[in-house]
Structure formats: structure tokens, C-alpha cells
Amino acid sequence: MMAERELDPKAPPGLHLLSAFLAMETTDTLLSLARECGGGKITDEVQTFICNECLDFSIGKGNEYMKKFLKKIITEVESRNGYVSDDLYEEYVPYMTSSKDFNLFKETGRILKCISFLFHADCVELSSCPSSRNLVVELQCSLNMLEGDTGCSIWPSCLFLSELILSFPHIFLGKSCFEVGSGVGLVGICLAYVKASKVILSDGDLSTLANMKFNLEMNHINTETDLPETSTENPKLVKCIHLPWESASEKELQEFMPEIILGADVIYDPSCLPHLIRVLAILLSKKKSCDKNQKGSLRNSSTEVTCADGKANSSSQGQVLNAHGSDSSSSHAYDISITGVNNAASLGSRADPVAYIASVIRNIDTFNHFLALADQANLTISDLTSTLRPLDLLPYMRSYDRSSIRLFTVTSK
């Protein structure tokens, strides 16, 4: 009988299974990846790999997630009349006899996830990624964002922006960057990794801010909290500030003068949009940036809005769009297309400040409201979804639907 091939934790498919486990992907995803490792079934070799590589990490110990994962694997093997290894049974036994750890886990409401960005061969050949083969980011996250802890959850657009930063580091290299609604801090960690000259993260919730700072320090990034803007620039230093959009003053915001503003899934709440637009308008003000940037900078790109009937309207970049039963997994009935921006390099050399906003459009009326408010504030919205596509650095993360995310730039007219 031919010996089973050994699984390598540093290469697919073993790497994908291990990465998915550390990121706490769904148990169905783990089961699917485990089958791929065994050529369609959970072999003895796969079970050994799970025990020696996955379960060896304390990240998943003593929680409901681990219990469900082990039960799923054992049930799969038994249903196919396979042999469940003694080691796998031994790992599962404690979960059958005690619920103490589960109760503690539920009370804390926090879980530790590891997000592994995998720089594959094609990525390295394009010279667009760091020389290391992967980047692993540890994040303390909310156990359940439906319980009002959205700021401590990893949103899809946060993953998208992180992939964008790591795929096109030259856009952010040496630039001062400011993120609105920074959440768990993943985007800021990636900005520090590609050596942005200054990284400022902000959030309006104090508990989210504290969790964000914890995540930065856990990833060996020094942090500042509400210290004067005149402090020495340091790529290894990330500043965390408490910034409720509704109370942020113009004077306070003008002190930052970032070259790049970022936001992930920040346009989902209609009541917050007027405050968000005001904050973006101030941060994108050309009046403040002119003193900092060279004269004669590139003009901002114009946009034309293409409606569902395919007719273009270029008179108002922020006009309200119509949707006719559009599906996030198919082509949208509405579209915002770009003229004047053809490649990532031109974006990286832009002298005027620019905001990158990644978002899942969950409600068309909310999105149209965002466009209307932006137009009233003399902001230009451009859709880069089909123009600037990040590399797939999270191939194992099947719960992450990249196709549902739109990428926009926001600039001052």
C-alpha cells in the first residue's frame, strides 16, 4: 500500500488548513480543507496533522469553536467507516466532560484570531509584496458582533483594504495615513508593515480603541494615545485617537493633514453619514494640503456615473443611483466608472489627499444617501473596484466574499 504523502504546514494544502484554523474559519470550511488535504477524505495523515499542527496552538483551546471542530472531524471519519486516531479522541474527551471553559469563554466575549496573509510565488514575482513568505497578524476580536460589539469584529472590507495595502505597498510607502473607524486595527498593522511614514488610527468607541491598542501591542507595534501631533514621525509608531465623528472639530482634524485616508465598511449607518462626510471633507481639504504638497500636482480624476440603463451622466459625481434587484454576487445594476485613472502607479503619485473607502453595499438607499451627501460637500466619488484589484492573499478564508466589496476613492473637487 502506497504511503500517504506528508502534509507540509508551510505549503498548501496543509498551510491553508492551518491558516483557516488559526483564523477560526467556519467548521464547514475546515472540514472541506481537511478533505482536500487527504484527497477527498480525512486520512490518518490528516488527523495526525490536525493534532500535531492545528491543535498544538493554544489559540483555540477551551472554547466552543474547538469542540465543534473536533466533533465535525470525528463525525466525518466515523460516517465513512474510517478509523479515528486515539490522539484525536483524546483531544475531544475533555470537551465532553466539562463546560467550565466554555462558560468562561462566553463571559469574556473575546476570541483570539490569527490572520495569515500568504504571499505566493506570483506575488513575489510581481515585486509587489514583501520578501517574506507570509504575514501573520494576531487579533483579539469580538465573539459575537450582533451583541453590539461591531467595532471589535473583523469586517470583510477590513480584510479587503489589508490585502490592497499589501498588494500595492508603493501607494502607501512613505505616506501619512489616517483611518476612520479603525476597529480591530488590522489595516493599521498592514500600513505599518509596508512602512507608511505615519499611521493614525481612530475610533469613536473607547472600548474598541482599547482593544485596538491591545492588538497593536500584541503585534509588536508601539502605540501613542491622544499625544500631540508634533511628535516625532516613526514608521514603527502608530497613533491611536478617540474620534467620535459627530463631535470632531474642524481645528482638531486639520492638525492631521494626512495624504491618505482609509475606511472599511463605514457607510452602513445612515445616521452617521452626515458626520462621516463632514470628517472626510475636512481631512481631504486641498487648502491645508497645498502648503504641504508641491505646486502643480496632478488633478483629481473626474468620474462619470453609469446608471442601470447604461447611460452615462457626468454632470454630478455624487448623484443618487437606482438599483433594480442587484445581487452582491453578480454584476451590480448601478456602477460608478472612472476616467483619468488607469493604474495604481498614478494613484500612488497623487499629490492631493485621497481617501480609499472599501464597503459592502448592503442597502442601496443608504449608499445613495452617501453619494448625495458627498456631492453636497463637493467630494468626488470614483469606483476603483475593477481597476485596482488586490491579490488573493487569503485563499483559505472561504467566509470572505471578495466579490461583494466595492472600492472607492473620495477626493475634494
At the second CATH level, the architecture of 110-412 is 3-Layer(aba) Sandwich (3.40)
Domain boundaries, the chain: 14-108, 110-412
The yes-or-no verdict on residue 330 having pLDDT over 70 is no
CA geometry: angle 248, 253, 258, nearest 5 deg: 140
Instruction: Report d(CA 181, CA 7) in Å as an integer.
Output: 40
316: number of Cβ within 10 Å: 13
Phi/psi-derived region of residue 320, left when phi > 0, alpha when psi is between -120 and 50, beta in every other case:
beta
The H or E element spanning position 261 is: strand 260-264
Instruction: Report d(CA 173, CA 29) in Å as an integer.
Output: 35
User: Does the global pTM surpass 0.95?
Assistant: no
What pLDDT is recorded for position 312? 33
What pLDDT is recorded for position 67? 85
Which residues face 203 on adjacent strands?
242
The more confident residue out of 96 and 125 is: 96
Give just the sign of the alpha carbon dihedral 256, 261, 263, 269.
Answer: positive
Average pLDDT over residues 297-319: 34
Torsions phi, psi of 199, nearest 5? -125, 120
What pLDDT is recorded for position 171? 95
The yes-or-no verdict on residue 182 having pLDDT over 80 is yes
State percent of the chain over pLDDT 70: 70
Task: Estimate to the nearest angstrom the gap between the alpha carbon of 31 and the chain centroid.
Answer: 24
Selection from 292-306, 344-358, 361-375 with the highest mean pLDDT: 361-375
Residue 213 vs residues 58, 195, 204, 255: alpha-carbon distances, Å: 22, 19, 14, 22
What pLDDT is recorded for position 161? 98
Average pLDDT over residues 388-397: 95
What pLDDT is recorded for position 99? 55
State the pLDDT confidence band at 318, using cuts at 50, 70 and 90: very low
Collapsing DSSP states into helix, strand and coil, what is residue 217?
A: helix
Task: Report pLDDT digits (tens) over 220-248.
Answer: 998 876 444 444 455 557 999 999 999 99
Least confidently predicted of 146-160, 202-216, 353-367: 146-160
CA geometry: angle 190, 196, 201, nearest 5 deg: 65
CA geometry: angle 21, 162, 112, nearest 5 deg: 35
Average pLDDT over residues 307-321: 33
**Residue corresponding to grid cell 478617540:** 242
Collapsing DSSP states into helix, strand and coil, what is residue 333?
A: coil
Instruction: Report d(CA 247, CA 321) in Å as an integer.
Output: 30
Instruction: Report d(CA 306, CA 342) in Å as an integer.
Output: 18
Residues 6+ apart with CB under 8 A from 368: 320, 321
State the pLDDT confidence band at 114, using cuts at 50, 70 and 90: very high
Task: Report pLDDT digits (tens) over 121-138.
Answer: 656 444 445 555 689 999
The yes-or-no verdict on residue 361 having pLDDT over 70 is yes
**Residue corresponding to grid cell 489589508:** 162
What pLDDT is recorded for position 225? 60
What integer best gives the mean pLDDT of the chain?
A: 79
Average pLDDT over residues 301-326: 33
Residue 285 vs residues 3, 35, 90, 96, 258: alpha-carbon distances, Å: 65, 53, 61, 60, 10
**Residue corresponding to grid cell 473607547:** 206
The yes-or-no verdict on residue 345 having pLDDT over 50 is no
**Residue corresponding to grid cell 453609469:** 306
How many residues are listed for the chain in this entry?
Answer: 413
